[in-house]
Amino acid sequence: MVPSGGLLPGTVLLLSAFYKRHAMQVRIAMMLSVSSLSGAFSGLLAFGIQHLNGKHGIAGWQWIFIIPHSISFLPHPEVFKLLTEEEREAYCRDLADDWSGDTDTDGKYAEVFSWSEVASVFTDAPHVLLMAIPLFLFGITFYGLAYFAPTIVSTLGYSPSRTQLLTVPPYACSFVFSITSSYFCDKYKSRGLMATFCALLAAAGYTIFLASENKARDYGALFLQIAGVYAFTPCLFTWQANNVQPHYRRATAVAFASASSNMGGIVSVWLFTGAPRFHKATCINLVSSIGMAVTSASLIFYFRARNAAKCNEVQALLQMDARGTGDGGWDSPQERRRLGDRHPQFEFTM
């Protein structure tokens, strides 16, 4: 489990090196939505495993470990080997002009590791620390669904086999919603509005569950909870990666985002008492969802204010030193690489 802790931030960081900032979320959603889709197929898998007990002399619980790991693989993308030198330079130039990727416009610049750049995330990146708040609250709701969802479905009163199958639709719907919402986030270059909407969607699901003990409504509320929480994930992780440059600063920020959500997961483990309604846990998940919405909306206004301040700074610099693109100038490639998201020309994604 410890080595797998770096898989999510590592994958997000890798994707951020290959795609422009506003073409990233749908890719990250594809990667992250596999978890919701796996939630759907886990029910089907469990249904099939029930009928494998004793096959080839292997117990049912042993098949649980054999089947998933027999089809696991980790691809290693080597996109640039498929490009000519001219195509590679054009691709890197587009990334650099968009404040994306990890190379200069000629594709040859490589950042040198610096502990001061790592530390700058905690000393000179208030937006990274602010983003940790909704990520922590998200961790409470996200990891709580692992306890919540199976229990709700099991109270519907069906056979174990049918109960396993009923876990499929909420996760399958979440998969479609997450991909669709991420597509529109990239299209309109926005993260915060969709994050706020997804959090409110999850809050609506928890509210319905608290207000009614009707089993059909409980199951319907589960659709809203899972769709809202799972679609919130690519919004926040993409938002974090979009707004931090250069590479090692962004790597630290993405890892900190993952750690923040995992801290919320630690809290969620201790909340689920009083099955099957989990009243205390549901109330805390509701409050967390509302907190996710409020903090996400607040971050939109924060980034808008930061962009306005940067715009004023650029106007002042233009009056003093025209474009400043020469060696050592305020808008030179060297300064852009050094400052990253602290550069006045860098525009935060909202």
Least confident piece of the model among 112-126, 154-168, 169-183: 154-168
- Give CA separation, 313 vs 22, 124, 269, 326, 345, in Å: 24, 18, 47, 18, 9
pLDDT digits (tens, 9 = 90+) for 124-142: 999 999 999 999 999 999 9
Domain of residue 141, CATH code: 1.20.1250.20
What is the predicted pLDDT for the residue at 72?
47
Query: What are φ and ψ of residue 327, in 5° steps?
Result: -55, 125
Would residue 338 count as lying in a domain?
no
Whole-prediction pTM:
0.83
- Plot region of 75 (φ>0 → left; ψ -120 to 50 → alpha; else → beta): beta
Bond prior to 169 in cis (omega within 30° of 0): no
Residue 254: CA atoms inside 13 Å, Cβ hemisphere, count?
A: 30
- Domain assignment present for 191: yes
Amino acid residing at 166: L
Task: Give domain status of residue 164, yes or no.
Answer: yes
State both tokens at 20: 């422009």
Instruction: Count other C-beta atoms under 10 Å from residue 51's C-beta.
Output: 11
C-alpha distance from residue 36 to each of 76, 105, 170, 230, 317 (Å)? 23, 37, 9, 7, 48
Q: Specify the number of domains making up the chain.
A: 1
User: Could you tell me the residue range of the domain that residue 286 belongs to?
Assistant: 3-77+111-294
Summarize the confidence of residues 92-97 as an average pLDDT. Answer: 76
Sign of the alpha-carbon torsion through 20, 75, 172, 202: negative
Residue 13 has pLDDT above 90, yes or no: no
Residue 15 falls within a domain, yes or no?
Answer: yes
State which amino acid sits at residue 332. Answer: S
Q: Pick the residue with more confidence: 135 or 334?
A: 135
The answer as to whether 317 is a domain residue is no
Q: Is residue 69 part of a domain?
A: yes
What's the confidence (pLDDT) of residue 78?
39
Q: Is residue 184 part of a domain?
A: yes
Place of tokens 């700058």: 120
Decide: 69 and 53 in contact? Cβ < 8 Å.
Answer: no
In a domain, 221, yes or no: yes
27 within 8 A of 15, measured Cβ to Cβ: yes
| Dihedral sign of CA atoms 127, 313, 93, 324 in order | negative
